[in-house]
Structure 1
């Protein structure tokens, strides 16, 4: 046994361990290429469709950060959901790599890889090399990472920028380097403009570091460097609200609103935090999509208990504390969108890595320790893959079929009114896949008045997806509009009623 331990402890094996680390990371990235198709899959294909609309508009009409376009705002199109730098970079890449969802996914994976690098660097600030490598591997395999890193989705750009912000701020504080702080503020600007909430959890660990290292004087002296991202962010929020307030007044459409005041959407009501159903939804996600079942939860708890008892990695606990504040602040968004749990992925990965080390290091012999370590890692990674492949990558084939019919029957510049019972007025599911702009109004609220108002806005086609034309639409039948009925072969008997609104 001692001979095995001596062999495995030889210096040249350090390079072998590094190579194994890199190989496993490459395998993790390679698995994403099994899901690089043109279909925008679920869950949350809604947000991906909006992102794809931004990209396509930037590619066709040029990048204009003050006028990004969604597909469900008719001919007006402009809606600012974030500072669309990730989408602009993807659109610019189309000139070299071709305009496709594959290219979009590839660029978003590159954003993710930047975050992987910085996450590893952050881990090294908190734990040893072995734990850092293991946590980095787990980070790339956990389901929310596995799925969203190759989705047409901005969140890992924002998280990667937040990682870089924290790392450079931390180094700047430790080394009393204004240059490092300036680099941190550059990344903070990117994070704040694209998705500020994802940078929020890093405030507590930074404050703890300043307190622990007694760097208050240095930070106060250079406080203007920290203030620059805040000033830029406040300016952008005001600018975005003003631009969104200029949207047309389509109040005749029930549920339509301008996106100039989103506080209720972001924060929800205080009472919302006490709704049992919300907690059941979140609990299921934390167990399956973050904890990956019993294996991951066991390792997570083992890592947390060991770290707490040994007072190991205090920065990690302050990071977790920042996440708790983030979670309750943006509770409404966390309930509605599972991708708002993405900031938890790196912390879960670190605690799981600590748990694996804790459980394996307390096995008797050297060989048992190594076999336990390998067994736990393999079990966790296989569990990650299983939950990812089971829960995610769902295709909305119904919407794809409807979109194909719409695209075939209309011209690129035509404005289309889509009426589907699953769609709200802000829904891009069908319009984006059809590469058309227009509006979305569900059949239960669609009226003759709405249709005629939108005809005045240059709407040329109406697509009703239902088992029958709503009874309230008398003009569709009596006013002589040309209509085609397409059987969708749907279980509920739904048809596509395609109506030309130009006589």
Structure 2
């Protein structure tokens, strides 16, 4: 096995430093309720966890809050993460920090696995820098502590890559089994890992010596042909696809029965858009977002350096295969990828080792103080992005919506159904820990209120200043709602934000 030239022989750095620093950053505001960036996605996950705990439902019956008068069973991804959180709730009670804590634990384990992958594909020093790159990336920090399944998803992906590498090296049956479990778990959580994780896993199988010079395309093709004749290859793939398909068939049937769905199929699906995929501005926006929040700016040239140096080696091709898989999935889910930045979170699994290779290369070519200064700049940039784009947003949203949510908890019975005028955003319902409806402000009419009252709605709540929990309401729309309810001596929970909580019977005698 031929090691990378001029990348060996340096004393190893302490493993605990990237893990400790990354965990410390992810513990910032861990006590925060579900508010802030992408709170609507977190709110649905938190609602599932709460219902699993309180209702005692099995894992195959996920519930959300916005089901109206129904139980709220919804078509969704496999709810492994909220179900695990619900087990913690059963021990301690409904505390959102438990869900965030589970994400932090998953993220800390992922940093360790990224270091192992970097070491396996390149050198121990590259592995250390890869762990540091993953630990400091604002995208990894924020979604490594949010109340959603992304941290668990990325952990499953990293676990699958590491376990499969062990299987290829040592032919241990337990490693292949663990690889399959993690791969199938990632696919159940989000589906698209079938591609962006499947491609690098295939390259792991075809690369017996990641640190050695990569084999020629002809040699790789011969290995691939031999692999297709191996029945265990087809067992691995077919069973993973079968288990994933079985869940989503069940989820589809659940959505058909309840009428509640996250829009995986049909006209409501917002995953793909050919026009956006062919639009240059969409790619520019994605590149800027990735450069700032995933690579912290300084990682962009380091990624380029690592990419140029790695392609000749087996491990580098595995990392590049993952990046290519992510690119294909981005094209396939372009609308979701441009709106939901956590779709780029798994990219860090493959970019971090390449950035680590760039760091290590730079370390050999520059003075020590230059590296320390660049690392300090990276840390400062990461903290700045996290502070302004994420942590400050959570604090602002908390001060805006938590007083109203606490009033709902105190004044409204647990079984009362609430109408939240927050568009399609369930954050307020989750903060209030109530079930009911979420409607856009444009649908708030007397006729609609009569229908909702007949369906069992007892209260209506919202804000005259906010269309949902993160978008300000236009003045014309605010005035229309004000005129609708002004004759009923509305009492604002928060006079500044003009949040209201009104019994519907006061509006509809």
Scaled by the length of structure 1, the TM-score of the pair is: 0.84
Aligned-pair distance for 1:298? 2.6
Task: Report deviation, 1:400.
Answer: 2.2
> How far off is 1:215 after superposition?
6.3
- Do 1:66 and 1:243's aligned partners in 2 also have CA atoms closer than 8 Å? no
Task: Call closer, same or farther: CA 1:101–1:212 in 2, change over 3 Å.
Answer: closer
Deviations 1:238-266 (A, max 9, x none): 11001011125xxxxxxx97846257635
Counterpart secondary structure, 2:191: helix
Change (3 A) 1:451 1:63: same
Extract structure 1 runs of 4+ deviating beyond 6 A.
Answer: 309-312
After superposition, the Cα gap between the structure-2 partners of 1:277 and 1:95, relative to the gap in structure 1 and judged at 3 Å, is same
Determine the structure 2 residue equivalent to 1:306: 309
2-structure distance, mates of 1:361, 1:81: 49
**Given the alignment, which residue of 96, 103, 107 partners 1:101?**
96
Matched with 2:390 is 392
Name the counterpart of 2:472.
none
Tell me which residue corresponds to 2:77: 82
Aligned runs of 1:375-390 on 2, under 5 Å? 375-390=373-388
Contact 1:63 1:88 in 2 (8 A): no
Number of residue pairs the alignment of both structures matches: 466
Q: Which runs of 5+ in 1 are unaligned?
A: 1-8, 249-255
Aligned-CA RMSD value: 2.9
- Answer yes or no: is 1:401 the counterpart of 2:403: yes
Aligned to 2:159: 164
**Residue pair 2:263, 2:269 contacting (<8 A) in 1 also:** no
Contact 1:48-1:151 within 8 A present in 2 as well: yes
User: CA shift at 1:495, angstroms?
Assistant: 4.9
Measure, in 1, the Cα distance between the counterparts of 2:118 and 2:503. 58
Match of 1:22 among 16, 30, 42: 16
Give the CA deviation at 1:41: 3.4
Q: Deviations over 1:324-343 (max 9, x none)?
A: 11211111111111111101
Equivalent residues of 2:107, 2:151 under 8 A apart: yes
**Cα pair distance change 1:210/1:239, threshold 3 Å:** same
Q: Is the 8 A contact 2:459 2:502 kept in 1?
A: yes
Q: How far is 1:99 from its partner?
A: 2.7
Q: CA deviation at 1:143?
A: 0.4
**Which of the numbers 72, 79, 92 marks the counterpart of 2:87?**
92
Counterparts in 2 of 1:30-429, with a 5 A limit?
Answer: 30-76=24-70, 77-212=72-207, 214=223, 216-217=225-226, 220-222=230-232, 223-248=234-259, 259=263, 261=265, 265-293=269-297, 295-308=298-311, 313-363=316-366, 368=367, 370-393=368-391, 394-395=393-394, 396=397, 397-419=399-421, 423-424=422-423, 426-429=424-427
SS at match of 2:415: coil
Q: Distance in 1 between matches of 2:339 and 2:84?
A: 28
Distance 1:199 1:390, change over 3 A: farther
Over 3 Å counting, the alpha-carbon distance change for 1:239 and 1:207 in structure 2 is same
Residue ranges of structure 2 left out of the alignment (5+ in a row): 1-7, 209-222, 465-477
Kept after mapping to 1: 8 A contact 2:145/2:151: no
Contact 1:448 1:472 in 2 (8 A): no
Distance 1:37 1:209, change over 3 A: closer
